[in-house]
A and B are shown apart, each in its own frame.
Chain A
């Protein structure tokens, strides 16, 4: 089985978010970039398929040279090879078209992407990718088993979960649950050394266009001050929620 894990390079979850150039660009100054958390779960599941079922695991990202430390980290975690499409990820459609070209060329059976990137929260690359390729697709995937051509997946639904069966070739949008938190791997020294020898292929983008464009950004209005209620006066809390906030 040949697996492609799609990696999106995103600001660390603790980052403060600022905008620059007259609020038209995200300000990456001082921001630490990491593997998108949803992709880290997916990559870890891919490593399981490699160890237990002899799968080959490649990772791909669409991004400029600045994304290479993040891809190296994926190699250090254990991916066999990496591909970087040398282009700015203009929007989800554009990224999906780039990845579709990689998947076609590489003949992958399983594409593991994340449910969403925590930067722009698009949640669209895997669904567009699957549809462009005519591959099956399971989103918000929290469990995945493969046997031959057959896949059994569990996806989260509002208020519960749903078990699905499907067949390869398959794209998933993965998230927490795909592996348990304690299985997440921090690259060790040996992994980091080995990653240096692994192939990181840089390819130029295929002809594609974006369909959306962020023209301006702004930040949420600062929070008004909090009203404190004494723990011995909960009637007041109920009264505030009823009369002032009108939520109960």
Chain B
């Protein structure tokens, strides 16, 4: 009857979001008077997730699952849930988790609520708060099915330490039958670079930057801050930056601690997608830019003057603080 949480890993190590979903699962387990079990696939340091209240890990080691495969992973999660008798299954909001969760839901004939931003409102009935209309509102959603699948929004619940000894048990799910569905032929990803999904800080540029040749300072600012880079929609439409960097209602959602918008006007579709970020800084030459109404800190000025200065000052700050 435990709560099951899928803790993602990459290259044998837990991903950053594993701590948050584990913390969430522990909270739900507490409320339900039960324990939290993690399912980890090809993860070397499984017991470390005990730091976040997880008392048991189902540890899957299988060469066939080396590369993420949504359908096969969904079958693994289904079998893990059945083995544990879990009625509540927790996942993150990563691209992979959002690929997987609906399939797990259908395999278990359950209900799924994504984009959950807080611990459950109540357990009986099971009710959670989630964002809807691209952050323009919240819904309190009741799960009526026996099996409940919850997708936790990135950076919404936080990591809560609860030192527990995690009992690691090997788990060998059946991978028989035609459960792979797709074959990965090529992954194109810069290793070690912060991504919009998991960075604490995102530095984003808009059309105000005039052209792709001016992105050097955006990248430098991002580097100084250990941030990921992003852009507004027209910037990716114009081919100045790759589509994967487009954020907003029709692009990637951003929910970081700090979002720095440079030369971005703050159109409603842009704001919808980035408003879940905790602190927003705007640098724009036009004091009337709508983004100033939606931000925490603002600088009116020419990006080509402000950004290089900011980089210098941040470098000084960083060298003093270390």
Contact = CB atoms under 8 A, between A and B. Distances in A.
Q: Do A and B bind each other?
A: yes
Interface of A: 11, 13-14, 16-17, 19, 26, 37-38, 91-93, 96, 118-128, 130-132, 136-140, 142, 153, 155-166, 175-177, 180-181, 210-220, 223-224, 226-231, 234-235, 237-238, 240-242, 245, 247-248
Main secondary structure of the interface of B (DSSP, over half): mixed
B281 A237 contact: yes
Interface stretch (B31-39, B161-169, B289-297): B289-297
A128 B106 contact: yes
Interface size class of B (residues with CB under 8 A): 35 or more
21 contacts: A118-B250, A119-B133, A121-B132, A121-B133, A127-B101, A128-B106, A140-B98, A140-B99, A156-B243, A156-B244, A158-B197, A160-B244, A163-B185, A216-B140, A220-B275, A231-B302, A241-B258, A245-B297, A247-B257, A247-B258, A248-B317
B250 A237 contact: no
A123 B185 CA distance: 25
A234 B300 contact: no
B142 A215 contact: yes
Given A13-B249, A238-B314, A238-B317, A127 B102 contact: yes
Nearest to A132: B106
B45 to A, nearest CB: 20
Interface stretch (B47-55, B80-88, B112-120, B210-218): B112-120
Contacts of A96: 106
A238 B313 contact: yes
Nearest to B125: A215
A175 B99 CA distance: 13
A38 B250 contact: yes
Interface string B282-310: 10000000001111111111100110011
B61 interface: no
A-B CB proximity, top 7 nearest: A127-B102, A160-B189, A211-B111, A231-B301, A159-B195, A131-B106, A211-B145
Contact of B95 (A14, A156, A241, A242): A156
B138 A218 contact: yes
Contacts of A216: 139-140
